[in-house]
Amino acid sequence: MTDETKNELNNEEIVENDDGLATEKVDAVVEEAADSQQVALDEALKRVSDLEDQLLRSQAEIRNMQQRQAREIQNVRKYDGQKLASAVLPAVDNLERALLVESKDAVAQQIKTGVEMTLKTLVQALTDNGISATGEVGENFDPTKHQAIQSVSSDKVDSDQIASVLQKGYILQDRVLRPAMVAVAK
């Protein structure tokens, strides 16, 4: 019996008579106290249940945040050189174009040798960092890796294969840095 209930019993005038009136009053007060305790207990259990639910949701959200952060870190590491590679690719293109020029001059041959060595070094650096060229003649046309500039008739390759490459494309890991510009056989 709680202190509040005892005080209520002490404060009430208990008069016993033949009808058992005092017993009824005591029973009513005890029942009322039991009801209020049950209500308080139910409220406390509901509050505990709500707090447990909030705790589980918070723990799940923390796990989800940790997983997202781990994926983001992995992607940053995986595609780390993308900006630098995109900046270097035009230089590679220019060096390849420079090698297409033919000259019989000895000085021009020496310059061409230097350009070949520079190009080889750049291409090796790209390869070492997970960057590969795409768009070779005879390769099947893939719209996710290649950009078709024109369709041509060709006896050298089958239909829907690359007939000529106008500009190489490059891929970093599984991400296309630049699609290859190609002519596709009809």
pLDDT digits (tens, 9 = 90+) for 44-61: 999 999 999 999 999 999
Q: Look at residue 14 in the predicted model and tell me its pLDDT.
A: 46
Q: Which two tokens stand for residue 185?
A: 């056989």
pLDDT (0 to 100) of residue 155: 80
pLDDT for 16: 46
Q: Which residues contact 177 (CB under 8 A, 6 or more apart)?
A: 82, 85, 86, 89, 131, 169, 170, 171
Q: Which CATH class name applies to 82-185?
A: mainly beta
Q: Treating both helix axes as pointing N-terminal to C-terminal, what angle do 21-78 and 3-11 enclose, rounded to 10 degrees?
A: 160
> For residue 120, what pLDDT band results from cuts at 50, 70 and 90?
very high
What is the Cα–Cα distance from 114 to 111, expressed in whole angstroms?
5
Query: In terms of pTM, does the model score above 0.75?
Result: no
User: Residue 15: its pLDDT value, please?
Assistant: 44
Q: Residues with Cβ < 8 Å from 38, sequence gap 6 or more?
A: none
